[in-house]
Amino acid sequence: DAGVTQSPTHLIKTRGQQVTLRCSPKSGHDTVSWYQQALGQGPQFIFQYYEEEERQRGNFPDRFSGHQFPNYSSELNVNALLLGDSALYLCASSLGHGAYNEQFFGPGTRLTVL
């Protein structure tokens, strides 16, 4: 049973560029959430996708956008990259988007902005 997978593992970009990160949920899961984790901090909620729509959003600017595909996989897009966007980006999947649903995390994508 494949767990949550993310690609790429690592990425280096320069300020002003755009980046797309990808996530495939655990088999049988239909909900994907994205988090940003700065070094030494806990993950910060970016947004959650269910039924191909954004259902919840954290305190992130519109430069952060996403998409969910019919097969439940998801993309996170970040435009006009800033140095402060350097972080580990985690994807988590769950079955349904209710409060009681355990979220399974992928290994993350380490983004470095120079």
Partner 1 sequence: GQNIDQPTEMTATEGAIVQINCTYQTSGFNGLFWYQQHAGEAPTFLSYNVLDGLEEKGRFSSFLSRSKGYSYLLLKELQMKDSASYLCAVIGADSWGKFQFGAGTQVVVTP
Binding site for partner 1 (CB under 8 A): 4, 31, 33, 35, 40-45, 48, 50, 55-56, 58, 90, 92, 94, 97-108
What SS3 class is residue 83? helix
CB of 75 to partner 1, least distance (A): 18
Beta strands in the chain (DSSP E): 5-7, 10-13, 19-24, 31-37, 44-50, 53-57, 64-68, 74-78, 87-94, 104-105, 109-113
Q: Which is nearer to partner 1, 24 or 48 (CB)?
A: 48
Q: Which is nearer to partner 1, 46 or 80 (CB)?
A: 46
CB of 57 to partner 1, least distance (A): 9
φ, ψ dihedrals at 84, nearest 5°: -70, -5
Q: Which is nearer to partner 1, 42 or 70 (CB)?
A: 42
